Amino acid sequence: PPLLAAVAGLAVALLGAFAASRRAGRVRPAEALADAVVDGRVMTVGRWVWSLLYLLAAGGYMISSMNAPAYQLRAPGMRGPDSKATWSLEMGTMVIIGLAMFAPLLVPPLVRALALPLPMLNGAAGLLAGRNALASARRTISTATPVFLVVALTGSVVGAGLAFADARDTEARSMAAAPYVASPSTGPALAPETLRALHAKPGLLAATTASAMVTGLGVGPLSSDENAANAPIPYRALVVNGDPASAWRLHVTSGSLPQFTGAAVAVSSELARAYGWRVGDRLNTRLPDGTPAALRLVATVRPSFGLPEVLLPGSALRRPVPASRAYLAERPAAPLPGVLVSAAGDRHDPDAATAAHFQRLTILAILAPALLYALIAVVNTMVMSTRDRVRDISALTAVGATRRQVSRAVAAETTLTVLTAALLALAVTALTQMAVVRTINTSILTGSARVPYTLPWTALALSALVCLALAVLSALTSLRPVLRSTFPPPSRTRA
């Protein structure tokens, strides 16, 4: 990936330089001597073509990824709710890039609308700021684009992360059939005397579970070679002692859970679709202790955050696996030593916490470099755009504008540009968040469980304020040498 990124960056830079030089080569000598006061057409034919091609390619990719064929589901990253989180990040990035390509169409009307109250708020400086932003459309667009990228990326990525974190909690509460869960306070497994105490009271213990690994799951013979019938990688399985329906409200897509006993297995519907498994098939596998076994597929269930893709009954194992969780029908009357009993919906799941931790690290790894380079671009474009205002500042001084009035006009124009970009980013975040929430509620959660539609207002506000502070500070800082050359200090006479 670093090599591909370096090659892609170099290719983009060369293409940009080629496009700029080609455009400059079309300018005739007489036109080069003239100085345009108002930018002409910004949305060129080439930009229209590339933007529309990008929209078609991005739309086709997103549709195909949401309706992935069976062979693509063999990649673990394409299955389960976590694949929807990856899809949401890709979707948000593609929408942001697509809207940035159409910035010449979207920015000027929004600037014109936002510039209407400026004369009333800031007098002549506000009027000049609005007119300059509209007249210098290319400068306004180039300044607004990095701000838009910062705010839109922050809003989309943080919003999707919060929505999926909320989906994990909502699913855990809605799937819990047993009201209480017992887990060891120390160590990976419950003590045997604890399990005996739970079994001693009738109706208290609903089921126990333990994590395990199975390999070579498939309809073909067991071998070390990869083939189309066998899954070539090990799978994390959950060994269930008891009725799974007494612990979770599982959404069974085919088969039935009452047959989940003996040499049986239940898998997620996406895993079964990936390899063409059907209820009744015999799946050969190696159990956690390494012994081969032929298990009958009795049910397929809808994928969920909290459960692995493979469920095994405890009776299918020749050697029992120590239980790490016990699902209880009621809270024990007396506390059990070394056991933490909590409500099923409020239980702190270490696996879920680990998954959430890695999800935050992924978001940080994706977001931090992009935001850093975008913030550098904000400062860079503001410095270059301020240096381009030398002629405008000279014209203002010729009509009697003071140093303070010029600074206020530049600050007002910068604020107008940042506000325009922030509003466009808010619209993108609202659109992507709507798609994310709809995907969660229709593809992941079942029944009456729903994730509410909310926007990450704190992240949006903080990113917009940071961009505004950097933009205004860099604009005014780069304006100082221009003002010094335009407003020379008064000469001092010797006494």
Show the DSSP H helices in 262-349 as ranges. 269-275
- For residue 428, what pLDDT is reported? 93
Show the beta-strand stretches assigned E in 339-378.
339-343
How many Å apart are CA 58 and CA 379, to the nearest integer? 30
Separation between Cα atoms, residue 160 and residue 49, nearest integer Å: 31
pTM of the model: 0.81
Q: Using DSSP, state whether 277 is helix, strand or coil.
A: coil
- The answer to whether residue 128 scores a pLDDT higher than 70 is no
Instruction: Name the maximum alpha-carbon separation found in the chain.
Output: 109
Contacts of 371 (CB under 8 A, 6+ apart): 150, 153, 154, 463
pLDDT digits (tens, 9 = 90+) for 434-477: 999 998 998 888 776 889 999 999 999 999 999 999 988 988 88
Quick: pLDDT tens for 261-320.
989 999 999 999 999 999 999 998 988 888 888 999 999 999 988 889 999 999 999 888
- Rounded distance between C-alpha atoms, residue 276 and residue 269, angstroms: 10
How far apart CA 315 and CA 241 sit, in angstroms, is 7
Joined together, the tokens standing for residue 247 give 């612990």
For the chain, domain boundaries: 86-174+353-486, 187-337
pLDDT at 229: 46
Residue 100, φ and ψ in degrees, nearest 5: -65, -35
pLDDT tens digits, one per residue of 32-86: 555 554 455 667 787 788 888 888 888 888 787 777 788 788 888 888 888 888 8
pLDDT (0 to 100) of residue 373: 82
DSSP string, 400-422: T--HHHHHHHHHHHHHHHHHHHH
DSSP assignment string, 56-91:
HHHHHHHHHHHT--GGGGGSGGGSSHHHHHHHHHHH
